[in-house]
Amino acid sequence: MCDCYSEEETALADLKAIAENLINGKAPAVEEGVRQAMDDGTPVREILHEGLIAGMNVVGQKFKNNECYIPEVLIAARAMKSGMELIRPRLIEEKVEPLGVAAIGTVKGDLHDIGKNLVAMMLEGAGFEVVDCGIDVPPEKFLEAVKENGAQLICMSALLTTTMPSMKTTVDALKEAGVTDKVKTIIGGAPVTQSYADQIGADGYAPDAASAADRAKELMVEIKE
Ligand code: B1M
């Protein structure tokens, strides 16, 4: 690149290229772009937001408008994951000691995991020890994470309106198990709202991965009080 561009302009162009390659499902190019941006010293939060998330948002919009279909979406999701794997250690790097233990999963019946993985990474980056319960997680498995892994936060993601009720079932199961004095719940995902969180008695709601990490930190303060 000619030196008539400032470092900031070059970094922005690199992040746009990452987003573009992700939209086109080019995993090796996404990986290469992410590696290059990291080598150039671009903050990983910027790589995540301006590169990877920005690209996936476009894919989501295109899918909604029937401008692309499930196979293209899956290929783009794979490209996003390969980029995320590269920045994961850097997001975790600043962790000194765990702020707490957070179990996360996409609720029963729901297989969407891109947002859930982003939240997990942001939680790790914020200093939490994260127990990833995966996708299609029934209430019993979240309870198991409390009992066996000492989870203090139960973080649930749902992308389908039809799977949101499983969040309530899990909140109720935690109440029944009598652990809600030391365990808090956070919910999120595209169809989920603060008003739904209030309705089902969840302790927290966050509209995006970064806010989920902030909410998790606030809830840890409440747990420790
Ligand atoms: Co699905 N899908 N999908 N899909 N899919 C949606 C969600 C949909 C809105 C598309 C549409 O119709 N416009 C629609 C749901 C409609 C509804 O219920 N209202 C839908 C549908 C219908 C389906 C199927 C039923 C399609 C079918 O088979 N007929 C099927 C269901 C399968 C199942 O789960 N049982 C299905 C399947 C799939 C794929 C497998 C093809 C793929 C998933 C791949 C994967 O995850 N590994 C897929 C995808 C990719 C999407 C879209 C296009 C993108 C979702 C995504 O990853 N977004 C989506 C359309 C859309 O959202 N525009 C769609 C990017 C991701 C970063 O955002 O997950 O929202 P998101 O996470 C955000 C926030 O929501 C938040 O943080 C993230 C950003 O920072 N967040 C939290 C998420 N979890 C959080 C938890 C928190 C806090 C914040 O606290 C714990």
Residue among 85, 69, 67 nearest 27 (CA): 85
Instruction: Give the tens place of pLDDT for each residue, 53-90.
Output: 888 778 877 876 889 877 887 788 789 889 988 988 88
- Confirm or reject: Cβ of 187 under 6 Å from ligand 1: yes
Residue 130 and residue 95 in contact, taking contact as beta carbons nearer than 8 Å: no
Handedness of CA 53, 187, 78, 122 (dihedral sign): positive
Largest CA distance in the chain: 64
- Confirm or reject: Cβ of 116 under 6 Å from ligand 1: yes
User: How does residue 1 score in pLDDT terms, banded at 50, 70 and 90?
Assistant: very low
| pLDDT score recorded for residue 120 | 85
Alpha-carbon span 68 to 75, nearest angstrom? 11
- Comparison of pLDDT for 207 and 118, the residue scoring more: 207
| pLDDT score recorded for residue 159 | 98
Ligand 1 binding pocket mutation candidate from 112, 184, 214 (most atoms within 8 A of CB): 112
Q: How far is CA 111 from CA 96, 106, 175, 189, in A?
A: 32, 7, 25, 12
Residue 141: both structure tokens together: 């498995």
- Confirm or reject: Cβ of 158 under 6 Å from ligand 1: no
- Confirm or reject: Cβ of 102 under 6 Å from ligand 1: no
Residue 77 and residue 56 in contact, taking contact as beta carbons nearer than 8 Å: yes
